Amino acid sequence: PISGVSLRAQPPEGQVALGDRLVLSCAVTTGTGPLSFSWHREGSGTPLGTGPSLELQHVGDNDSGHYQCRVSNGDSVAKSPALNITVL
């Protein structure tokens, strides 16, 4: 099983200025097999991206919200805690 999924943001604290770049990184403590990543924002049905990191080049007002990384190895799925991103 997958465990220890964590999420971190650059800039730290998840506060980013309008028009700036935001990078979210997902890390897994334990997990076997090929891992697949997907990125989700609360209220958005479609994944925002795949891979261990998500980069938004120019954040806009509508990019504020709670972000989450989901990790799957085909057998199990684990989610990171939600991270609140605030666009200033």
CATH of the domain at 59: 2.60.40.10
Q: In which order are the strands placed within the sheet that holds 22-30?
A: 3-10, 22-30, 53-56
Instruction: Note the pLDDT of residue 70.
Output: 97
Residue 44: the pLDDT is 84
Q: How many domains does the chain have?
A: 1
Question: What is the predicted pLDDT for the residue at 56?
Answer: 96
Could you read off the pLDDT of 30-72 as tens digits, one per residue?
988 899 999 999 988 899 999 999 999 999 999 999 999 999 9
| pLDDT tens digits, one per residue of 5-32 | 999 999 988 999 999 999 999 999 998 8
| Structural domain boundaries, residue 54 | 3-87
